[in-house]
Structure 1
Amino acid sequence: MDNVGISVIMPSLNVGEYIEECLCSVLSQSYQDIEVLVIDAGSTDGTKEIILKYAQLDSRIKLIHSVKKSYGYQMNLGIESAKGRYIAIVETDDILAERIYEKLLLIAEETDADFVKGFPELFWGNYQEAVWTSNTLSFFDGIDQRIHGNQIVIWPKDMPELLQRDLFLWTGIYKRKFIQKIRFNETQGAAFQDQGVLLKILSQAAKGVYINSLSYKYRQTNPNSSIVNPKGLMYLVNEYKANEDYVKQLSPAWQKAFYRRLWIQCIERFRCMARERKFWHSELCYMKELKEMLALQWEQGIIQEAYCEKYEVNTYRLFCQKPEMLYQEYVHYYQKYIELLQQLDRFLWKKTIIIFGCGNIGKFLHLICELRMPGQVEAYCDNSHKRIGTKVQGLTVYSPKQAVKIFKECIFAIAGKRYEAEMRRQLDSLGIPDTRIYVYTGGIELELLKIK
């Protein structure tokens, strides 16, 4: 497949639960002149069999076997094999937005940019049933830019602040001749090896374009994701250490952005520990390395308090005193969320659930229940005549009277406190005792979706 428009690089390892949905989102793109290079690192869960099944149906797919379980090695292998004028990267547990390659390629060819990117959507759950999405930071807000309609043309190598805004590698397409000059670190595992490449892309690209279109759907509920990997701190520190020599060649502004991004990502590792209520003692040696790396930058004036957000400075000071102190700070922060979820679990576990109210809070509550107790939500009920008889997130909406008649032993979960009193009165008038009524008071807080 010489001279195709886009080579899609897809590194895989034991993603059998997700890869079919991912592949379908790639193959169904309106722009069809693509090759799909799936580089598998020895999957044992049926992933390879799914890839081969699709390869028999679509000649654009090529399965490449990686001899190393290394995301960086897989990516280098894929990029070396690519024939496309442009290269796209897709994580095999995620989903592409519809028609996005058509949009990206049109702008790439019009502007001759080194890369063109959209914005990602984080999602919890699945799009066939209960799902919650959250868009990330828009580039159309508060950045030095040249705006042309629905796009921003920038000169990345002169904009180190991009390191705080462009967080993901896989939201766009890159000129093959440009990205082939950049190599991934071939360390073991599959966590954070994209960080050094993203740094090099942004600091070397002469021209980039961001478009105001959803390009990528980033799954947040894969239990094997680097987001929740207890070795994440090790991978993160090692990746940044591997790129220190490179960043020393850049301007002080790039160095500041590099180390600030490191600390922000490390903060998230401590938040992850606190959500799991488990301090990663096995990572203490990497915490020590991290402390030494950052302390040197403070001493040399690369990192300065005026350059950072207040929470970054405060968390760094706690960390320097003792990593366990920063962990305990976040344990305290998450306690209110954990208590709310424990109450929800006690009341709803192994019960048939009807959600009273199918607005945003009701949908959010539905997803919390699906993540914690799959399949227990049977339906919604609502007083809106426009909603009764419709479906919300795959479930039928009934009137309260209908729901009481159909679901004899269910728990009615009232979505929010705003109308709690009148909803309780209505359920009471239908013969539902307080012991079968649960009131969800958590609102829409994404942190609730991250706690097991």
Structure 2
Amino acid sequence: MMSENPLISVVIPVYNVEKYLQQCVDSVLEQTYKHLEIILVDDGSTDSSGEMCDRMATLDDRIRVVHKRNAGLGMARNSGLDVASGQYVMFLDSDDFVDSRMVEELYAQLRKTGADTSYCGYNEYYGEGRVNPRPAAYDDRTFRGTDIINHVLLEMVAGKPEDSKEALLSMSSCFALFSMDVIGEHHVRFPSERQFISEDIIFDIAYLQHSSCVTYIARPLYFYRYTNSSSLTHSFNARFLEQQKTQYARMNEDLETICAADTYRDRLDRYFLGRVRHFIGAVVAYGRSHKEYDAYAEVRRIVNDEDVRTVIARYPYRRNPFQLRMMNMCIAHRWIWPAMVLVTMKQLKKTKRF
């Protein structure tokens, strides 16, 4: 039976975020739900973040600090899980912050529905007065049994070919309350993002296949901070495609244990092609600011990659909405310049949003 006021653990990995850490932790301390355990995992910070964690712990006895050698976000979250004693757990990235009612509202939805897991929407935060709300696609919706796989997990992976959105639901683990009973009983953990570039979806697959009831509220209660370092130019990663191929293989291996191939294949292929298009965009953006970089040659290498050719050959992109269909057609036919023009137009449009 669900306790009226259970302890809820909030795990916050910390690495070189002295500029944002205070706002992040304050947003948790100011929660209207007070029965919290706040676990700050200092992942080998080289700035003052570790000292800030220790100082905060002296000011509020709900704060616990774990210092560890740097191993990345996923491993830091696991270190938090290893010491968490709450009935439920929430993950928060230390450069982000949350609405003061996030925990209360997510837990109220759990109590209302009898679910073991609850999700909410989020905000894209570009600075004061520059916030783009992203409500969850579901509002006051609850899923049980196989509906959790079909209407939650697979909608996190990607949409069907004809769907207008790349994915109906966010795969981020930061917009939810998770059951520690499910995590503990099934030994659910995050992989290292140094091995898998999107560690959250690996966690989602491992966790949601064992959840008995998942519920949603639409309200955007999490604030995801966008900074200059989030841009395609600043975050360019030349190994991105190879990492996505490794990611694809792992996701396919995990999904095939719980779904028929015809249930998830088109969604997983859409996910992978979305990552391919993202990389093409990153290459083009990087080329604009680094004139010595041969973006055309790199895009040609991407569209001729053997695994990209295999996926695009079987993916029914002609069922995609128009703009997506055009870009996938460029990949399918190896149209390099048109692909570069399309991603450039998309980037220029996005920069005019604010």
TM-score, length basis structure 1? 0.63
User: Structure 1's 334 and 296: CA in aligned 2 closer, same or farther, altered over 3 A?
Assistant: closer
Query: Alpha-carbon deviation of 1:23?
Result: 0.7
CA distance in 1, matches of 2:68, 2:284: 35
Which of 145, 149, 152 does residue 141 from structure 2 map onto? 152
Query: Alpha-carbon deviation of 1:74?
Result: 1.4
**Corresponding position of 1:229:** 235
The AA in structure 2 aligned to 1:254 is Y
**Corresponding position of 2:178:** 174
**Corresponding position of 1:43:** 45
CA contact (8 A) 1:9 1:75 kept: yes
Give deviations 1:386-412, integer Å, cap 9, x for gaps.
xxxxxxxxxxxxxxxxxxxxxxxxxxx
CA distance in 1, matches of 2:111, 2:120: 15
Aligned length: 325
- 1:240 paired to 2:248: yes
**Corresponding position of 1:212:** 218
CA distance in 2, matches of 1:49, 1:224: 26
Give ranges in structure 1 of 5+ residues lacking alignment.
Answer: 141-149, 338-444
Structure 1 SS opposite 2:18: coil
Query: Alpha-carbon deviation of 1:24?
Result: 0.6
Q: Identity over the aligned pairs, expressed in percent?
A: 19
Query: Alpha-carbon deviation of 1:289?
Result: 9.9
Which of 259, 262, 267 does residue 272 from structure 2 map onto? 262
Give ranges in structure 2 of 5+ residues lacking alignment.
Answer: 158-166
Give 1:30-109 correspondences, 5 Å limit. 30-109=32-111
When structure 1 is superposed on structure 2, of 315-324 and 60-69 the one drifting more is 315-324
CA contact (8 A) 1:270 1:326 kept: no
- 1:448 paired to 2:352: yes
Structure 2 SS opposite 1:14: coil
Which of 266, 284, 296 does residue 310 from structure 2 map onto? 296
CA distance in 1, matches of 2:99, 2:81: 22
Give 1:394-409 correspondences, 5 Å limit. none
CA distance in 1, matches of 2:303, 2:16: 31
Structure 2 SS opposite 1:184: coil
- 1:318 paired to 2:330: yes
Query: Alpha-carbon deviation of 1:449?
Result: 6.1
Query: Alpha-carbon deviation of 1:211?
Result: 0.7
Query: Alpha-carbon deviation of 1:330?
Result: 4.1
Structure 2 SS opposite 1:40: strand
**Corresponding position of 1:24:** 26
User: Structure 1's 119 and 32: CA in aligned 2 closer, same or farther, altered over 3 A?
Assistant: same
Structure with the bigger RCO (C-alpha within 8 Å, sep 6+) is 2
**Corresponding position of 1:136:** 134
Query: Alpha-carbon deviation of 1:101?
Result: 0.5
Give 1:334-373 correspondences, 5 Å limit. 337=348
Computed over aligned residues only, the root mean square deviation of the Cα atoms, in angstroms, reads 3.4
CA contact (8 A) 2:327 2:339 kept: no
Structure 2 SS opposite 1:104: helix
User: Structure 1's 201 and 309: CA in aligned 2 closer, same or farther, altered over 3 A?
Assistant: farther
Query: Alpha-carbon deviation of 1:85?
Result: 0.6
**Corresponding position of 2:168:** 165
Q: Report the structure number with the largest CA radius of gyration.
A: 1
User: Structure 1's 74 and 295: CA in aligned 2 closer, same or farther, altered over 3 A?
Assistant: same
Query: Alpha-carbon deviation of 1:173?
Result: 0.5
Query: Alpha-carbon deviation of 1:261?
Result: 2.0
**Corresponding position of 2:162:** none
Structure 2 SS opposite 1:72: helix
Which of 94, 110, 113 does residue 112 from structure 2 map onto? 110
User: Structure 1's 35 and 71: CA in aligned 2 closer, same or farther, altered over 3 A?
Assistant: same
CA distance in 2, matches of 1:244, 1:281: 33
CA contact (8 A) 1:30 1:102 kept: yes
Query: Alpha-carbon deviation of 1:198?
Result: 2.6
